Each structure stands twice: as C-alpha cells, then as structure tokens.
Structure 1
Amino acid sequence: MAIKKNGFIPSSAPEELKKVLKAVASEWGDMIQDMEEFHVIPLKGAMTNEVFQINWPTKHGDLHQKVLVRIYGEGVEVFFNRDDEIRTFECMSKHGQGPRLLGRFPDGRIEEFIHARTLSAADLRDPETSALVAAKLREFHNLDMPGPKDVLLWERLRTWLIQAKKLCSPEASKEFGLDTLGGEISLLEKELTQGSQEIGFCHNDLQYGNIMMDEETKAITLIDYEYASFNPVAYDLANHFCEMAANYHTETPHILDYKIYPDMEERRRFISAYLTSSGNEPSDAEVEQLLNDAEKYTLANHLFWGLWGIISGHVNKIDFDYMEYARQRFQQYWLRKPLLLGS
C-alpha cells in the first residue's frame, strides 16, 4: 500500500481501494472522475494499522465528504481473526456504537468518518471526561454480542507466548524470560479467577486514541474493536488504567511513564462513575472490590501487551519501538507482582 503522505491518492494504491472509494462517492451522489480528486491525510497514533482520512469534493463543489481508510498492518492475523473483527465491527454499528462500515477491500476497509475529537492523553486525567468514558465503558461491557460469552484472555496469552517463542532468537527469548511465562500465565489465571467476577464484552485496548468525543453533545464513542472479546470487566479497567502511563504523540511514543499511573483516588473515582452509571448507587465494598480486582489484573495486562510488543516487533513495519515497549511492560510485571500477589 503506497498511501504515505499528505496529498492525493497515488496511482500505486490498490485498484480495489480506488474502486470502493468511487462506489462510496457514487452512492452519496458525488461523481468522481479522476483519482486526483481524492485527498489523503495520514492520521497518527495507530500501532497496528495505518489510518488515513480521505476527502473529496461534493457535487456542490464547496463542501467535502470524508471517510476513514484503514490499511491492515502486516502479520496482525496472529493477534486476532479479521473475519471475527469485521463481524464485531458490523454488530457494533447495529447497536448504534462506533462508525458504519462503508466498504471493504483485501488489505483494509473504509469506515464512516466520525465528526468528533479523538481524546488526548491529558483528556483521560480530566475528571468530567473520565466519568463520561467510565459510563461509556459500562455501556460497552453490557452489550449483548453474539457468540459464546467465554473469557478469551488466558487462551490468547498462551497462543501469543507460543508465537513469541517462535519469532525470538534464543538470546532474546532468554532476555524476556519467555520460558518462565507459561508458569506465570497459569499462576495468574489461578489467582485472578478465584471467586465470582463479572464477565462483559471488553474493548481490551482502551487507550485515548480509541476514544472520541463530540464537543457539543459530549457523547463518547469507542472505536477500534480488533482486540475486543468477552473478558472479566476488571481486566478492561486495568487496561485503561495502564494506558494512562502512555502518550503515543511524543518523539518517543514507546516510552511509558509509570510515575503518572493513576493513583488510588483517581482509580476509585473512575470505578465509582463506572458502577454508578448503571443507575444504582454502589456500596463502598463493591467499589473497593472492583478497584482491588482491577489492580491485580494489571499484571495480566502487562504480559498481554509485552507479548504483543515482541510479536509486533517481528511482523509490523510501523515506526514504533515495539521491543522496548515490551521490555517496559515485562519490567512492570516483575516489579508489581510481589506487591499485588505477595511473594
């Protein structure tokens, strides 16, 4: 795929993409004769796919239509089944969640362009915005999605560990301690699944770039469901908290700053807003239990994204230091494990 910079869609772009773009434009009543009429703007922050805004003039001339084109990253089929992800995407649209699917081509798809602002890292720390995100996440978890409601986390971790071992050199495998992680995954599964816990349809990648907000209505939209699956809701909360240590729009987007990981009060406020949004006032005990569960699930989250980083470093060509990112996630795992589970 050759869409790389600001400007017009290049002649080297796949014929299938050109054809689908023209079909979308035609369906909206805009007759596009020349591919030079499509203007391309790369969007930053994606780490699995390449994402572009594509504009073209309407038949009225002074207005422009917009769509979002997503080019699938290389090798990402190891992370999720693309057909399952498309089914989730279409189902979300039917639920009135997220953008509509406008068209597909072999290497990607065309989505409705949502006229809302993508959140920034700083937005997640704003109490009002954070409460809106919490309520939206609760709504997401309660979606009635088709298929079995089985937890996918542990199976996915074991599958990714096998893949990471295949891709790594013996030296790298030793550096990352991959031979010990099978036992760590089993330990976490045993420790974290004791007692009752709520299972919901989880986003599993709720970083700020996957959250959009309409500035006028303050409506929140969650986007990008590639990693979405049924999981313990405490795991999804843990993932969101871990993402607060990241800022993917800096000169070093792979560097995580755990000094800004949300403190106890910030996490408690988010979880209170999350539980209250269902219409019932939670007890202090309910808030504390979910707060405690979420903090323990950060351990599984560090392993999840650590393995993702190793695999991505071998299969993905996006300019991002995946291996250093993985290194930081594993460091946090070993640092936090004795504190959260005891020695």
Structure 2
Amino acid sequence: MDTNNNSNSLNVKRIDLTVNPSEICEKGVQIVRMVRPEWSEKEISVKIFTDGLTNRLIGCYLPQNPSDKVLVRVFGEKTEIYIDREIELQIMVDLHNNSFGPPVYCAFNNGIVYGFEDGIILDKHLVRKPEIAYKIAAKMAKMHTLQILNNSKREALVFQLMRKFLQQLFEATLIDR
C-alpha cells in the first residue's frame, strides 16, 4: 500500500490501493488504522451499512466511543462513468472546510475515508415542524453562498452531467449498430 499526500490542490492523503467490495471489512480496518494509528486493530468494531444502491459502506469505531466513527466507502462498479470522483472529493473537502460536513481523511483508488456526523434522519413529519424547516432553510441558504470548486469556469454541474450522459448515450448507440 503506497501512500502519498498529493491530491492536486487538496490536502487529502492518497493511498494506492484498490479494495474488492467483498473485502471491505478487512481492508477497511487496515485503511482506518492509517488514519487512526492509535486505534488497536483488535479493538475496532465494524458496522456494515446496507441502504446504499451502488456503494459499499462501513463504519469503524471503538466500542468505548461508538459516536467517533470513521466511514470507509468503496465506490460502486463503473459509477465513475456518471460521477466525477475528483469533483466529489473536492466538494466534500470544501464543505468540511466551511463546517458543512465531516472531515475527509484519505482517498484510495476506488473509495474514500471520512468522518461520521451523528444525528437523526429527518422524516416527512419532522421537516414540517416550523423550527426544523427554518433551520433547514437557513443552512441551505448559507450553503448556497459558499464558493466551492475554486475554478474560474462557474458552470452548473447539471449541464456538464447532461452533456456527459448524452455523449455516453451516443457512444452506446454507435456500438449497438
């Protein structure tokens, strides 16, 4: 496992490792030990999250402090076709730097390791409560004032994605002929 601290302009450790999704628990613990070397491998507990559609996700923690979780996400196969992982990483780092998300500890060839923020899942009843709706609106308004993705070309990502999908559709159509 080669590590290097270069991530273009991002200050995110890079690990030259590709994790087989079937080995996420074993390899995930090894990666977590790189970002939390004070954690004993024997003491680390692993929670497997199963609600994702394409990604594999685990949370690693010490039993004496279960709220201090480190998440390891292995990207779904071929999801890089429609998700630019470098932009995703940059957005996560930028959001964290502006107090809108957990820290990003490192990235590996087909995944990312980041912090966990404890909370509750909002349902349709909670979001209708005026005090909750107000907090959501205030946070969203603040978030949309952030300057993220420090590039000079400020184009909505949705248009880039639409062009990318159309290009893939065009290429797939040519292959089928």
Length-normalised TM-score, structure 1: 0.39
- Indicate the residue corresponding to 1:158 in structure 2: 163
- Indicate the residue corresponding to 1:107 in structure 2: 110
**1:19 is aligned to 2:30:** yes
Q: Tell me how far 1:54 sits from its aligned partner.
A: 1.7
1:108–1:122 Cα change, 3 Å: farther
- Indicate the residue corresponding to 2:60 in structure 1: 54
Cα-Cα RMSD: 2.9
Residues in 2 aligned to 1:46 and 1:88: alpha-carbon distance in whole angstroms = 20
Residues in 1 aligned to 2:111 and 2:117: alpha-carbon distance in whole angstroms = 18
Residues in 1 aligned to 2:162 and 2:55: alpha-carbon distance in whole angstroms = 21
Q: Tell me how far 1:101 sits from its aligned partner.
A: 0.7
- Alignment deviations for residues 26-52 of structure 1 (CA, whole Å, 9 cap, x no partner): 2xx33x143xx3322222443342222
Checking the alignment, whether the CA contact within 8 Å between 2:32 and 2:60 is kept in structure 1 is no
Residues in 2 aligned to 1:114 and 1:70: alpha-carbon distance in whole angstroms = 15
Checking the alignment, whether the CA contact within 8 Å between 1:20 and 1:104 is kept in structure 2 is no
- Indicate the residue corresponding to 1:42 in structure 2: 48
Query: Which runs of no fewer than 5 residues in structure 2 stay unpaired?
Result: 1-20
Counterparts of residues 272-287 of structure 1 (less than 5 Å): none
**1:74 is aligned to 2:77:** yes
1:153–1:95 Cα change, 3 Å: same
Rg (Cα) greater in structure: 1
Residues in 1 aligned to 2:120 and 2:23: alpha-carbon distance in whole angstroms = 23
Checking the alignment, whether the CA contact within 8 Å between 1:44 and 1:51 is kept in structure 2 is yes
- Alignment deviations for residues 159-179 of structure 1 (CA, whole Å, 9 cap, x no partner): 2133245557xxxxxxxxxxx
Return 127-136 or 107-116, whichever deviates more: 127-136
Query: Which runs of no fewer than 5 residues in structure 1 stay unpaired?
Result: 169-343
Residues in 2 aligned to 1:77 and 1:85: alpha-carbon distance in whole angstroms = 10
**1:2 is aligned to 2:7:** no
Residues in 1 aligned to 2:50 and 2:29: alpha-carbon distance in whole angstroms = 22
Residues in 1 aligned to 2:123 and 2:115: alpha-carbon distance in whole angstroms = 21
Q: More strand by proportion, 1 or 2?
A: 2
Checking the alignment, whether the CA contact within 8 Å between 2:60 and 2:69 is kept in structure 1 is yes
Q: More helix by proportion, 1 or 2?
A: 1
Q: Tell me how far 1:111 sits from its aligned partner.
A: 1.0
- Alignment deviations for residues 69-93 of structure 1 (CA, whole Å, 9 cap, x no partner): 2111111112232112212211222
Checking the alignment, whether the CA contact within 8 Å between 2:56 and 2:74 is kept in structure 1 is yes
